[in-house]
Amino acid sequence: MWLEVGKGSDSGVLVTYITSVGPRRIGIMDRRLGVREGKEEANMDAPGEQMTCNEAERCLSCNRPACAVQCPVGVKIREVIGLLRQGDIPGAARKLREDNSLPGVTARLCPQEKLCEGGCILGRRGEPVAIGNIERFIADYERESGAPGLPEIAARTGKSVAILGSGPAGLAAAGDLIQLGHRVRVFEERNEIGGVLAYGIPETLLPREVLRSEVENLRRMGVEFETDSVLGKNAGVDELMGEMGYEAVYVADGGETACNGKRGVFTGGEIAVDADSVIVAMGLGRKAAQGIDEYLRTGLGTRD
C-alpha cells in the first residue's frame, strides 16, 4: 500500500486529498477489452471477496460522488460500496438493484471506463475505483449463494402495465415499475427473454446463465413474463388496453410503432444493438418507467 498526496478541485472547491493507489485495482476492465478483441474469455477469474473488499476500501465516500452522476441508470455507487465495506453483501445487492435490474449483465457489458469509473475522483491522480469489478462480485456472489438481495416492493397500486419487448429497456422498466407497486407483465415474441442480450451479445461476453439468473430475480420480484407472444410484436395494444385491462403499455421493442399518440402508450426510444448501448437502453427504460408511473398516479405524464 502506498499513498499519493495532491491538490485538486471538486466542484470548484480546492481540496487537499490523499489518494490511496495501492493495492492496485483489479483489472476486469482490461480483460473485457481483451475479450472484445477476441483474445480472452470474459468470465474467467472473477474477483474474489478479499480483493473486492480491498478495492472497496479505496473508495473515498465522496460528498458529491461523480461516479453516480455518470451512471446512466443512477446507481448509488457510494452507498453500495459502503454496504460492502460493512460486510453486508445482500444489502449491497439490494441497493444496487434499486436502480439496476441487471447488475450481473451490466458488470460485464458496461463501458465503465467512460461512465462511472470515468467520473471517479481517484482517476484524476491515479486509478479509479474498479466499480465494475465490485458490481460484478456482488452480482456473482448472490447468484452463486442462491440468496439474491432483492429491493423492497411498494404497496400494490392496483394498476397494470404491459411491456412489449424484453430487451434491456423493457427489463429495466419492468424492474422499476414492479418496485413502484404496479403489476407488470412482459411480452416477448421470441422464446427467450432478453432481446439483444439473448440474441445479439456473444456468450463469451455474457453467459446465458447470468442473463437467466437476472430474469429469474425479476420474476421473484413479481414481474410476469410471456414468451412466444404475438402481443410482443406490438400488434395487440388495443387488446391489451381494452379487454385485457392494462392501464399503460410500454412499447420497448425499439422500433417505430403504429400506436404512438395513444393515451397510456409509451415508447422507449433507441434499441440496444451492442454491449456498449445496453446501459443506454436501460437508462431510457428507466425514464419511460418514470413517465408511466407519473401517468398512472396522476393521469398526466409524457408518452416518451
Contacts with ligand SF4, residue ranges (CB under 6 A): 59-62, 65-67, 77-78, 120-122, 129, 131
Which DSSP letter does residue 205 get?
A: T
Give 84 or 201: the residue with its C-beta nearer to ligand SF4. Answer: 84
Minimum Å gap between C-beta 62 and ligand SF4 is 3
As measured in angstroms, the least distance from the Cβ of 83 to ligand SF4 is 13
Which amino acid is residue 145, in one-letter code?
A: S
Sign of CA dihedral 9, 11, 14, 19: negative
Give the span between the Cα atoms of 174 and 176, in whole angstroms: 5
**Cis-peptide, bond into residue 23, ω within 30° of zero:** yes
15 DSSP 8-state letter? E
| Dist. CA 268–CA 286, nearest whole Å | 9
Please identify, using beta-carbon distances, which residue of 64 and 156 lies nearer to ligand SF4: 64
Complex with ligand SF4: residue 57 or 276, whichever CB lies closer? 57
- The minimum distance between CB 70 and ligand SF4, in angstroms, equals 9
Within 10 Å of residue 136's Cβ, how many Cβ atoms?
26
Name the residue nearer to ligand SF4 (CB basis): 67 or 296. 67
Identify which of residues 120 and 288 has a Cβ nearer to ligand SF4 in the complex: 120
**Nearest alpha-carbon partner for 130 in 211, 65, 205, 53:** 53
- Alpha carbons within 13 A on the beta-carbon side of 39: 6
State the pairing for strand pair 3-10/13-20. Answer: antiparallel
Shortest separation between residue 264's beta carbon and ligand SF4, angstroms: 38
Give the three-state DSSP class for 123.
helix
Q: How far is the CB of 23 from ligand SF4 (least distance, A)?
A: 16
| Least spacing, CB of residue 49 vs ligand SF4, in Å | 19
Q: How far is the CB of 174 from ligand SF4 (least distance, A)?
A: 28
Strand partners, 186: 163, 225
- Identity of the residue, 113 or 224, whose beta carbon is nearer to ligand SF4 in the bound complex: 113
* Residue 211, C-alpha cell as written in the block: 442473463
CA 200, chain centre distance (Å) = 18
Q: How far is the CB of 64 from ligand SF4 (least distance, A)?
A: 9
Beta-sheet strands, E only, within 224-271: 224-226, 248-251, 265-267
| DSSP single-letter state for residue 23 | S
Based on CB atoms, which residue is closest to ligand SF4, 62 or 186? 62
Residue placing its CB nearer to ligand SF4 in the complex, 72 or 291:
72
